Amino acid sequence: MRIGIVCYPTYGGSGVLATELGKALADKGHLVHFITYQQPVRLNAFHANIYYHEVQVPTYPLFDFPPYESALSSTMVDVILNQKLDLLHVHYAIPHASTAYMAQQIVAKQGRHIPFITTLHGTDITLVGKDKTYAPVVTFSINESDAITAVSNNLRDETYKSFPIEKDISVIYNFVDTARFTRRDLPHFRQAIAPNGEKILLHVSNFRKVKRVPDVVKVFRQVRDVMPAKLLLVGDGPDRPMIECMCRDMGLCDDVRFVGKQEQLEDVMSISDLFILPSDYESFGLAALEAMASQVPVISSNAGGLPEINIDGVTGYSSPVGDVDQMAAHAIAILKDEQLLASLRKGALEQALRFHIDNIIPQYEALYDNVLQQSVVRN
Ligand code: GMT
Protein backbone atom coordinates (compact mmCIF):
# COMPACT_ATOMS: atom_id res chain seq x y z
CA MET A 1 0.00 0.00 0.00
CA ARG A 2 1.01 3.62 -0.46
CA ILE A 3 0.24 5.32 2.82
CA GLY A 4 0.44 9.01 3.72
CA ILE A 5 1.04 9.67 7.42
CA VAL A 6 0.39 13.10 8.88
CA CYS A 7 1.51 13.83 12.44
CA TYR A 8 3.23 16.27 14.76
CA PRO A 9 6.95 15.69 14.32
CA THR A 10 8.00 16.60 17.86
CA TYR A 11 8.58 14.55 21.00
CA GLY A 12 4.85 14.16 21.84
CA GLY A 13 3.41 10.67 22.10
CA SER A 14 1.20 10.99 19.03
CA GLY A 15 4.15 11.86 16.77
CA VAL A 16 6.28 9.11 18.27
CA LEU A 17 3.53 6.56 17.75
CA ALA A 18 2.82 7.71 14.18
CA THR A 19 6.51 7.55 13.29
CA GLU A 20 6.99 4.09 14.79
CA LEU A 21 3.86 2.93 12.94
CA GLY A 22 5.23 4.29 9.65
CA LYS A 23 8.58 2.58 10.21
CA ALA A 24 6.91 -0.74 11.02
CA LEU A 25 4.67 -0.49 7.94
CA ALA A 26 7.71 0.29 5.79
CA ASP A 27 9.47 -2.78 7.21
CA LYS A 28 6.49 -4.82 6.02
CA GLY A 29 6.89 -3.52 2.48
CA HIS A 30 4.40 -0.65 2.40
CA LEU A 31 5.49 2.69 0.94
CA VAL A 32 5.12 5.31 3.63
CA HIS A 33 5.02 9.06 2.98
CA PHE A 34 5.34 11.31 6.04
CA ILE A 35 3.83 14.74 5.53
CA THR A 36 4.71 17.25 8.23
CA TYR A 37 6.55 20.51 8.89
CA GLN A 38 9.74 18.96 10.30
CA GLN A 39 11.55 15.65 10.16
CA PRO A 40 9.82 13.54 12.87
CA VAL A 41 12.20 12.96 15.79
CA ARG A 42 12.12 9.19 15.61
CA LEU A 43 12.56 9.21 11.82
CA ASN A 44 16.31 9.20 12.18
CA ALA A 45 17.60 6.62 9.70
CA PHE A 46 17.31 5.99 5.97
CA HIS A 47 14.69 3.47 4.92
CA ALA A 48 14.11 2.58 1.27
CA ASN A 49 10.32 2.56 1.74
CA ILE A 50 10.02 5.84 3.64
CA TYR A 51 9.61 9.30 2.11
CA TYR A 52 9.41 12.61 3.89
CA HIS A 53 7.53 15.62 2.49
CA GLU A 54 8.11 18.86 4.33
CA VAL A 55 5.24 21.33 4.55
CA GLN A 56 6.51 24.81 3.73
CA VAL A 57 4.47 27.70 5.08
CA PRO A 58 5.33 30.87 3.15
CA THR A 59 4.93 33.99 5.23
CA TYR A 60 3.49 37.31 4.11
CA PRO A 61 3.29 40.62 6.04
CA LEU A 62 -0.50 40.30 6.19
CA PHE A 63 -0.30 36.98 8.04
CA ASP A 64 -0.18 37.38 11.79
CA PHE A 65 -0.86 33.64 11.78
CA PRO A 66 0.72 31.86 8.81
CA PRO A 67 -1.98 29.50 7.43
CA TYR A 68 -0.39 26.12 8.19
CA GLU A 69 -3.62 24.24 7.51
CA SER A 70 -3.83 25.52 3.93
CA ALA A 71 -0.18 24.69 3.32
CA LEU A 72 -0.66 21.21 4.80
CA SER A 73 -3.78 20.48 2.72
CA SER A 74 -2.01 21.63 -0.44
CA THR A 75 1.01 19.43 0.34
CA MET A 76 -1.33 16.50 0.99
CA VAL A 77 -2.97 17.05 -2.40
CA ASP A 78 0.43 17.15 -4.08
CA VAL A 79 1.59 13.94 -2.40
CA ILE A 80 -1.74 12.12 -2.96
CA LEU A 81 -1.66 12.84 -6.68
CA ASN A 82 2.05 12.57 -7.44
CA GLN A 83 2.84 9.62 -5.18
CA LYS A 84 -0.46 7.87 -5.99
CA LEU A 85 -1.35 7.36 -2.34
CA ASP A 86 -3.98 4.76 -1.48
CA LEU A 87 -4.94 6.36 1.81
CA LEU A 88 -4.08 8.99 4.39
CA HIS A 89 -3.66 8.22 8.06
CA VAL A 90 -3.73 11.37 10.20
CA HIS A 91 -2.68 11.43 13.85
CA TYR A 92 -4.17 13.94 16.30
CA ALA A 93 -7.47 15.42 15.17
CA ILE A 94 -6.45 19.09 15.26
CA PRO A 95 -5.87 20.25 12.58
CA HIS A 96 -4.99 17.04 10.74
CA ALA A 97 -8.49 15.63 10.32
CA SER A 98 -9.91 18.83 8.86
CA THR A 99 -6.91 19.31 6.56
CA ALA A 100 -7.33 15.73 5.35
CA TYR A 101 -11.00 16.41 4.67
CA MET A 102 -10.04 19.49 2.65
CA ALA A 103 -7.44 17.51 0.65
CA GLN A 104 -10.01 14.76 0.08
CA GLN A 105 -12.50 17.28 -1.34
CA ILE A 106 -9.88 18.84 -3.60
CA VAL A 107 -8.77 15.56 -5.17
CA ALA A 108 -12.41 14.46 -5.51
CA LYS A 109 -12.82 17.33 -8.00
CA GLN A 110 -10.20 15.53 -10.07
CA GLY A 111 -12.06 12.24 -9.90
CA ARG A 112 -9.90 10.66 -7.16
CA HIS A 113 -11.29 9.33 -3.89
CA ILE A 114 -8.71 9.22 -1.12
CA PRO A 115 -9.94 7.77 2.15
CA PHE A 116 -8.55 9.12 5.40
CA ILE A 117 -8.26 7.53 8.81
CA THR A 118 -8.11 9.68 11.92
CA THR A 119 -6.38 8.41 15.05
CA LEU A 120 -7.37 10.24 18.21
CA HIS A 121 -4.55 10.45 20.73
CA GLY A 122 -5.84 12.23 23.82
CA THR A 123 -5.55 15.95 24.32
CA ASP A 124 -7.01 16.49 20.82
CA ILE A 125 -10.24 15.28 22.46
CA THR A 126 -9.95 15.80 26.20
CA LEU A 127 -8.34 19.25 26.33
CA VAL A 128 -8.03 21.26 23.12
CA GLY A 129 -10.67 19.51 21.05
CA LYS A 130 -13.45 20.19 23.55
CA ASP A 131 -12.73 23.92 23.51
CA LYS A 132 -15.66 25.55 21.75
CA THR A 133 -13.23 27.38 19.48
CA TYR A 134 -12.35 24.06 17.88
CA ALA A 135 -15.23 21.70 18.70
CA PRO A 136 -17.40 22.21 15.57
CA VAL A 137 -14.48 21.58 13.21
CA VAL A 138 -13.24 18.63 15.27
CA THR A 139 -16.70 17.04 15.35
CA PHE A 140 -17.26 17.54 11.65
CA SER A 141 -13.88 16.23 10.54
CA ILE A 142 -14.00 13.19 12.83
CA ASN A 143 -17.43 12.34 11.41
CA GLU A 144 -16.14 12.77 7.86
CA SER A 145 -13.22 10.37 8.45
CA ASP A 146 -13.45 7.06 6.62
CA ALA A 147 -12.36 5.33 9.81
CA ILE A 148 -11.64 6.53 13.33
CA THR A 149 -9.39 4.94 15.90
CA ALA A 150 -8.70 5.77 19.54
CA VAL A 151 -5.70 4.57 21.53
CA SER A 152 -7.72 3.22 24.49
CA ASN A 153 -11.26 2.31 25.49
CA ASN A 154 -11.25 5.31 27.78
CA LEU A 155 -10.44 7.71 24.94
CA ARG A 156 -13.14 6.15 22.75
CA ASP A 157 -15.70 6.62 25.57
CA GLU A 158 -14.52 10.18 26.25
CA THR A 159 -14.89 11.00 22.55
CA TYR A 160 -18.47 9.74 22.46
CA LYS A 161 -19.22 11.70 25.64
CA SER A 162 -17.73 14.95 24.37
CA PHE A 163 -18.78 15.02 20.71
CA PRO A 164 -21.83 13.89 18.71
CA ILE A 165 -19.93 11.20 16.82
CA GLU A 166 -22.04 9.18 14.41
CA LYS A 167 -19.50 6.53 13.47
CA ASP A 168 -17.75 3.57 15.04
CA ILE A 169 -14.49 4.29 16.78
CA SER A 170 -12.13 1.30 16.81
CA VAL A 171 -9.71 0.96 19.67
CA ILE A 172 -6.18 0.21 18.57
CA TYR A 173 -3.80 0.46 21.50
CA ASN A 174 -0.36 2.06 21.50
CA PHE A 175 2.42 -0.46 20.91
CA VAL A 176 6.05 -0.97 21.81
CA ASP A 177 9.04 -2.37 20.00
CA THR A 178 10.30 -4.78 22.64
CA ALA A 179 13.51 -5.42 20.74
CA ARG A 180 14.43 -1.78 21.31
CA PHE A 181 12.90 -1.35 24.75
CA THR A 182 14.48 -4.30 26.49
CA ARG A 183 16.34 -4.15 29.77
CA ARG A 184 20.10 -4.10 29.27
CA ASP A 185 22.81 -4.19 31.88
CA LEU A 186 24.52 -0.80 31.71
CA PRO A 187 26.66 -0.71 34.87
CA HIS A 188 28.78 2.31 33.86
CA PHE A 189 25.74 4.42 33.05
CA ARG A 190 24.01 3.37 36.26
CA GLN A 191 27.16 4.10 38.24
CA ALA A 192 27.39 7.59 36.70
CA ILE A 193 23.84 8.44 37.76
CA ALA A 194 23.72 6.60 41.08
CA PRO A 195 27.34 6.23 42.24
CA ASN A 196 26.42 4.96 45.71
CA GLY A 197 23.87 2.37 44.67
CA GLU A 198 20.90 4.74 45.02
CA LYS A 199 17.52 3.71 43.59
CA ILE A 200 16.66 5.50 40.35
CA LEU A 201 13.19 6.96 39.75
CA LEU A 202 12.29 8.14 36.26
CA HIS A 203 9.75 10.48 34.70
CA VAL A 204 9.49 11.17 30.97
CA SER A 205 7.15 13.79 29.54
CA ASN A 206 6.69 17.06 27.74
CA PHE A 207 6.45 18.93 31.08
CA ARG A 208 2.96 20.21 30.44
CA LYS A 209 0.44 20.94 33.20
CA VAL A 210 -1.52 17.77 32.39
CA LYS A 211 1.55 15.69 33.40
CA ARG A 212 1.60 17.03 37.00
CA VAL A 213 5.40 17.00 37.18
CA PRO A 214 5.30 18.73 40.61
CA ASP A 215 3.69 15.53 41.93
CA VAL A 216 6.67 13.56 40.62
CA VAL A 217 9.02 15.75 42.65
CA LYS A 218 6.80 15.49 45.76
CA VAL A 219 6.73 11.69 45.50
CA PHE A 220 10.48 11.67 45.04
CA ARG A 221 11.05 13.82 48.13
CA GLN A 222 9.15 11.33 50.28
CA VAL A 223 11.15 8.45 48.81
CA ARG A 224 14.47 10.22 49.31
CA ASP A 225 13.55 10.99 52.90
CA VAL A 226 13.66 7.27 53.68
CA MET A 227 16.27 5.87 51.30
CA PRO A 228 19.10 7.03 49.03
CA ALA A 229 17.54 7.79 45.64
CA LYS A 230 18.00 9.76 42.44
CA LEU A 231 15.35 11.20 40.13
CA LEU A 232 15.85 11.44 36.38
CA LEU A 233 13.59 13.89 34.58
CA VAL A 234 13.59 13.34 30.83
CA GLY A 235 11.99 15.75 28.37
CA ASP A 236 11.34 19.44 28.25
CA GLY A 237 8.39 21.79 28.19
CA PRO A 238 6.68 24.80 29.73
CA ASP A 239 6.71 23.60 33.37
CA ARG A 240 10.43 22.86 33.49
CA PRO A 241 11.61 26.22 34.94
CA MET A 242 8.98 25.96 37.69
CA ILE A 243 10.10 22.40 38.49
CA GLU A 244 13.74 23.50 38.68
CA CYS A 245 12.75 26.20 41.24
CA MET A 246 10.75 23.63 43.17
CA CYS A 247 13.74 21.28 43.37
CA ARG A 248 15.96 24.15 44.59
CA ASP A 249 13.40 25.19 47.22
CA MET A 250 13.11 21.59 48.44
CA GLY A 251 16.90 21.15 48.58
CA LEU A 252 16.77 18.29 46.08
CA CYS A 253 19.19 19.63 43.45
CA ASP A 254 21.94 17.09 44.17
CA ASP A 255 19.57 14.19 43.60
CA VAL A 256 17.41 15.38 40.72
CA ARG A 257 18.85 15.39 37.25
CA PHE A 258 17.20 17.11 34.28
CA VAL A 259 18.51 15.31 31.23
CA GLY A 260 16.40 17.03 28.55
CA LYS A 261 15.08 15.28 25.47
CA GLN A 262 16.78 11.94 25.00
CA GLU A 263 16.91 9.85 21.86
CA GLN A 264 18.43 6.85 23.67
CA LEU A 265 15.42 6.53 25.94
CA GLU A 266 15.86 2.77 26.09
CA ASP A 267 19.19 3.22 27.93
CA VAL A 268 17.67 5.57 30.48
CA MET A 269 14.85 3.09 31.06
CA SER A 270 17.31 0.22 31.42
CA ILE A 271 18.95 1.78 34.48
CA SER A 272 15.70 2.85 36.18
CA ASP A 273 13.92 1.16 39.07
CA LEU A 274 10.57 2.93 38.98
CA PHE A 275 8.63 5.04 36.47
CA ILE A 276 6.36 7.82 37.79
CA LEU A 277 3.40 9.11 35.74
CA PRO A 278 0.92 11.05 37.92
CA SER A 279 -0.95 12.75 35.03
CA ASP A 280 -4.29 14.53 35.28
CA TYR A 281 -5.24 12.62 32.17
CA GLU A 282 -3.49 10.11 29.96
CA SER A 283 -5.35 8.47 27.09
CA PHE A 284 -2.84 5.61 27.17
CA GLY A 285 0.61 6.53 28.49
CA LEU A 286 3.07 5.38 25.85
CA ALA A 287 6.11 6.25 27.97
CA ALA A 288 4.77 4.00 30.75
CA LEU A 289 4.46 1.14 28.27
CA GLU A 290 8.04 1.65 27.09
CA ALA A 291 9.13 1.60 30.74
CA MET A 292 7.23 -1.66 31.34
CA ALA A 293 8.92 -3.25 28.34
CA SER A 294 12.20 -2.30 30.02
CA GLN A 295 11.00 -4.06 33.19
CA VAL A 296 10.40 -0.85 35.09
CA PRO A 297 7.27 -0.95 37.30
CA VAL A 298 4.98 2.06 37.08
CA ILE A 299 3.53 4.33 39.78
CA SER A 300 0.79 6.27 38.06
CA SER A 301 -2.47 8.06 38.58
CA ASN A 302 -5.60 6.14 37.66
CA ALA A 303 -6.72 8.77 35.14
CA GLY A 304 -7.99 8.07 31.63
CA GLY A 305 -6.66 4.92 30.00
CA LEU A 306 -3.87 4.32 32.54
CA PRO A 307 -5.76 1.53 34.39
CA GLU A 308 -6.03 -0.31 31.06
CA ILE A 309 -2.23 -0.50 31.01
CA ASN A 310 -0.94 -0.25 34.57
CA ILE A 311 -2.49 -3.11 36.53
CA ASP A 312 -2.50 -2.69 40.30
CA GLY A 313 -0.17 -5.10 42.05
CA VAL A 314 0.91 -6.66 38.74
CA THR A 315 2.79 -3.98 36.79
CA GLY A 316 2.94 -1.29 39.50
CA TYR A 317 0.28 0.72 41.32
CA SER A 318 -2.16 3.46 40.42
CA SER A 319 -3.68 6.08 42.73
CA PRO A 320 -6.24 8.88 42.47
CA VAL A 321 -4.92 11.99 40.72
CA GLY A 322 -2.99 14.15 43.20
CA ASP A 323 -2.70 11.49 45.92
CA VAL A 324 1.02 12.03 46.31
CA ASP A 325 1.14 10.33 49.72
CA GLN A 326 -0.31 7.09 48.37
CA MET A 327 1.97 7.16 45.33
CA ALA A 328 5.00 7.72 47.59
CA ALA A 329 3.90 4.92 49.94
CA HIS A 330 3.64 2.54 46.97
CA ALA A 331 7.02 3.65 45.62
CA ILE A 332 8.71 3.11 49.00
CA ALA A 333 7.05 -0.28 49.47
CA ILE A 334 8.32 -1.45 46.07
CA LEU A 335 11.83 -0.09 46.43
CA LYS A 336 12.26 -1.59 49.93
CA ASP A 337 11.16 -5.05 48.92
CA GLU A 338 13.38 -6.77 46.35
CA GLN A 339 10.91 -9.63 45.94
CA LEU A 340 8.02 -7.29 45.20
CA LEU A 341 10.21 -5.31 42.81
CA ALA A 342 11.18 -8.50 40.96
CA SER A 343 7.58 -9.67 40.69
CA LEU A 344 6.37 -6.28 39.38
CA ARG A 345 9.22 -6.22 36.87
CA LYS A 346 8.12 -9.57 35.54
CA GLY A 347 4.47 -8.44 35.47
CA ALA A 348 5.43 -5.23 33.68
CA LEU A 349 7.28 -7.11 30.96
CA GLU A 350 4.45 -9.61 30.48
CA GLN A 351 1.96 -6.77 30.19
CA ALA A 352 4.18 -4.91 27.70
CA LEU A 353 4.35 -8.01 25.51
CA ARG A 354 0.56 -7.80 25.06
CA PHE A 355 1.16 -4.48 23.32
CA HIS A 356 3.98 -5.87 21.19
CA ILE A 357 4.37 -4.06 17.89
CA ASP A 358 3.74 -7.34 16.02
CA ASN A 359 0.31 -7.66 17.65
CA ILE A 360 -0.82 -4.12 16.91
CA ILE A 361 0.46 -3.32 13.38
CA PRO A 362 -1.75 -6.01 11.77
CA GLN A 363 -4.77 -4.30 13.35
CA TYR A 364 -3.92 -1.10 11.46
CA GLU A 365 -3.31 -3.07 8.25
CA ALA A 366 -6.69 -4.81 8.60
CA LEU A 367 -8.34 -1.43 9.10
CA TYR A 368 -6.61 -0.05 5.99
CA ASP A 369 -7.79 -3.07 3.94
CA ASN A 370 -11.31 -2.55 5.15
CA VAL A 371 -11.29 1.16 4.32
CA LEU A 372 -9.84 0.48 0.86
CA GLN A 373 -12.50 -2.13 0.12
CA GLN A 374 -15.22 0.36 1.01
CA SER A 375 -13.45 2.94 -1.08
CA VAL A 376 -13.49 0.63 -4.16
CA VAL A 377 -17.24 0.26 -3.73
CA ARG A 378 -17.52 4.05 -3.56
CA ASN A 379 -15.34 4.67 -6.62
O1 GMT B 1 1.50 12.97 26.23
C2 GMT B 1 1.36 14.03 25.62
O3 GMT B 1 1.03 15.07 26.15
C4 GMT B 1 1.56 14.02 24.15
C5 GMT B 1 0.37 13.46 23.49
C6 GMT B 1 0.40 13.66 22.01
O7 GMT B 1 -0.66 13.59 21.46
O8 GMT B 1 1.41 13.90 21.38
O9 GMT B 1 0.28 12.06 23.85
C10 GMT B 1 -0.97 11.43 23.74
O11 GMT B 1 -0.81 10.40 22.79
C12 GMT B 1 -0.01 9.29 23.18
C13 GMT B 1 0.09 8.33 21.99
O14 GMT B 1 -1.15 7.85 21.61
C15 GMT B 1 -0.61 8.64 24.43
O16 GMT B 1 0.16 7.52 24.82
C17 GMT B 1 -0.63 9.69 25.54
O18 GMT B 1 -1.23 9.12 26.68
C19 GMT B 1 -1.44 10.89 25.10
N20 GMT B 1 -1.33 11.96 26.11
C21 GMT B 1 -2.40 12.36 26.82
O22 GMT B 1 -3.51 11.87 26.72
C23 GMT B 1 -2.13 13.46 27.79
Per-residue pLDDT of the chain (379 residues; tens, 9 = 90+): 999 999 999 867 899 999 999 999 999 999 999 999 999 988 988 999 999 999 999 999 999 999 999 999 999 999 999 999 999 999 999 999 999 999 999 999 999 999 999 999 998 888 787 788 999 999 999 999 999 999 999 999 999 999 999 999 999 999 999 999 999 999 999 999 999 999 999 999 999 999 999 999 999 999 999 999 999 999 999 999 999 999 999 999 999 999 999 888 999 999 999 999 999 999 999 999 999 999 999 999 999 999 999 999 999 999 999 999 999 999 999 999 999 999 999 999 999 999 999 999 999 999 999 999 998 766 5
Binding-site residues, ligand 1, Cβ < 6 A: 12-15, 17, 92, 121-123, 151, 174, 206, 208, 210, 281-286
Ligand 1 center from residue 377 Cα (angstroms)? 35
Q: What is the pLDDT of residue 174?
A: 98
Q: What is the pLDDT of residue 231?
A: 98
pTM: 0.95
Report the alpha-carbon distance of residue 63 to residue 88 in Å, rounded. 28
Report the alpha-carbon distance of residue 175 to residue 309 in Å, rounded. 11
Domains 2-175+357-378 and 187-354 share a fold: yes
- Ligand 1, atom 7: nearest CA belongs to which residue? 14
**14: three-class secondary structure by DSSP:** helix
Which CATH number among 3.40.190.290, 3.30.70.270, 3.40.50.2300, 3.40.50.2000 corresponds to the domain 187-354?
Answer: 3.40.50.2000
Q: What is the pLDDT of residue 3?
A: 98
Q: Give the CA distances from residue 53 to residues 5, 48, 72, 152, in Å, rounded to whole numbers and listed in that order.
A: 10, 15, 10, 29
Q: What is the pLDDT of residue 123?
A: 84
Could you tell me if 163 and 138 are in contact, meaning their C-beta atoms sit under 8 angstroms apart? yes
Instruction: Identify the CATH number of the domain defined by range 2-175+357-378.
Output: 3.40.50.2000
Could you tell me if 305 and 290 are in contact, meaning their C-beta atoms sit under 8 angstroms apart? no
Q: What is the pLDDT of residue 377?
A: 61
The domain limits of the chain are: 2-175+357-378, 187-354
Q: Which atom of ligand 1 is nearest to the CA of 174?
A: 14
